[in-house]
Structure 1
Amino acid sequence: MSAALHAWLQAARQRAQQPPAQPRLPLWVAGQPVGSVAVGVLDQIGLQRLLDKRYKLSKTERSGTAIWHLDVPADAATDALNTLATALRDADLCGPWRNEQLAVCNAQGECVGTVERGAVRVLGIATVAVHLVGSAPDGRMWVQKRALTKPNDPGLWDTLMGGMIAATDSLQQALARETWEEAGLHVADLQAVTHGGHVLFSRPSSEAGGTGYMVERIDWFRATVPEGMAPSNQDGEVDEFALRATEDLYTQVAEDRFTLEAALVMAAHWGL
């Protein structure tokens, strides 16, 4: 490993684990802690019941600490969370709207409800993603260039596949779905598909005017793409694929040509 890559990795790992850029208050939903919100953000949508008094959003105190509480019955958590997400969007306090539901879990990993993906960063809700490191039989690695239309990290390079796990998907289902959508490959056709590990992120997010906070676990897999098989994007989110030698990838990672998430997944794959 070059000195440049070593220095980059040290800095990247620090970037992946950072405290919030501004003070945040815990967010509770239906009596369960699920995230956090930057001070002042929810004040902008008002201390009021959301949508004609269906749901009560209030700033209260718990164990001596101020918190935001979306006070609803457990069976109404999903609707209440999405009502809050819509209010944030209407106030221009939300990330890109995806029409995709992500799970909202408590500290024990139990699902409390689901919410629009565009709201998870501003609400500090933990997310789970999946990446696939795909190699050719000769050891070169397949990588993708993200489309310039992507809301996050457009034009940067990425692993063969990387995507968020939707609320309706298991880890294996997300791996299969995202591998087809992004690379046009069926997991069953790949060789030596194995779970490699996970990478954790906790850092400020630029979403919602810089008031977001990213808390994410990336589970990554490795596999061999058989000779004669090549990826082909299906969802319009990839500009191109390329086969790169490891030494070339070392250089490109150190030059910040890859997303932070992809680079740290690749470093884990290389055992760095």
Structure 2
Amino acid sequence: MSGLTNETDWLAALRVRAAQPPLRPREPLRLGSAEIGSIEPDMGRRMVEAGLPLRATANAWQISSHDDEALADLAHWLRDQGLASRWRDELLPVTDAAGQRHGAIERAAVRPLGITTHAVHLVGRHPDGRFWVQQRAFDKATDPGLWDTLVGGLMSADEDVPKTLERETWEEAGLHLTELDQLRPLGHLQIRRPVDEGYMVEKASLFQAVLPVRAQPANQDGEVAGFACLDAQALRAQLASGRFTLEAALILAHALEQNGPR
């Protein structure tokens, strides 16, 4: 992306990357009557041959038992086959296209199964209009060392959006929502693209807030390497140079369009 200097060019390129079909054909994965994800047919056949609670139907794969134990069986098989990402012992919600919950599954299994994840992001502003951003830790499984929004993370199975935003704001920036000014929704973002472990489908709820003038973000969970506070011009330059994650770049570009420098 470093060759793209025009803002229209790099932003258009980001939007194309955020809406990509799978690299290989995938078929719907169903739990009960709900479509909850997708898998590659070869993986489906291997799962059936391994005796997992899965069966082939017309152009889809049906999980045979409508409970979390069946989902856990799929997740553990993926781990044993080396097909899952880093195991986290963290359950994420399993939802359909309308957002209705149908169960929970280990985080490491969501990409191989094409299950939608739900994220929150907080765009942090300094009172003078600059943007607070974080650098992801260099041992992160995804996008290590790249820059990100001030706060971003996935919703766990036992959470809703407000609870996730409160938890992630403390874990990543050491801040409580009650400390922030002008907290407001900033919209939504959806990403669909191939990743190393499978297919990423993510829906993000976006927020913006102003940090008190003397506030200094302080990471609590070891997943952030550091923070910076950038004016709009410097932020645009770094977005165009590809130093931010795809999701953060789209979110911050949206925030720049909505707010601009103050």
Code of the aligned partner of 1:30: G
- 1:53 aligns with none
Q: Is the CA contact (8 Å cut-off) linking 1:47 and 1:59 kept in structure 2?
A: no
CA–CA distance in 1 between the matches of 2:97 and 2:240?
35
What is the count of residue pairs matched by the alignment?
255
Code of the aligned partner of 1:253: L
The offset of 1:132, in angstroms, is: 0.4
SS of residue in 1 equivalent to 2:49: coil
- 1:67 aligns with 60
Taking the TM superposition and a 5 Å limit, the aligned residue runs for 1:134-145 are 134-145=124-135
CA–CA distance in 1 between the matches of 2:227 and 2:44?
41
The answer to whether structure 1 residue 150 and structure 2 residue 151 are counterparts is no
CA–CA distance in 2 between the matches of 1:220 and 1:107?
19
- 2:54 aligns with 57
| Residues 129-158 of structure 1: CA deviation (Å, up to 9, x unaligned) | 000000111111111000001000000000
- 2:7 aligns with 5
Identity %: 46
Taking the TM superposition and a 5 Å limit, the aligned residue runs for 1:81-92 are 81-92=71-82
The offset of 1:94, in angstroms, is: 0.9
Code of the aligned partner of 2:51: R
RMSD: 1.4
The offset of 1:57, in angstroms, is: 1.4
The offset of 1:5, in angstroms, is: 2.4
Unaligned runs of at least 5 residues, structure 2: none
CA–CA distance in 1 between the matches of 2:169 and 2:157?
17
The offset of 1:219, in angstroms, is: 0.8
Q: Is the CA contact (8 Å cut-off) linking 1:48 and 1:58 kept in structure 2?
A: no
| Residues 27-66 of structure 1: CA deviation (Å, up to 9, x unaligned) | 112342111002312333443433xxxxx312222xxxx2
TM-score, structure 1 normalization: 0.90
- 1:233 aligns with 219
- 2:155 aligns with 165
CA–CA distance in 2 between the matches of 1:31 and 1:144?
41
Cα 1:59–1:47 shift into 2, 3 Å: farther
CA–CA distance in 1 between the matches of 2:33 and 2:161?
27
The offset of 1:3, in angstroms, is: 4.8
Cα 1:29–1:102 shift into 2, 3 Å: same
The offset of 1:105, in angstroms, is: 1.2
Code of the aligned partner of 2:249: A
SS of residue in 2 equivalent to 1:40: helix
The answer to whether structure 1 residue 202 and structure 2 residue 195 are counterparts is no
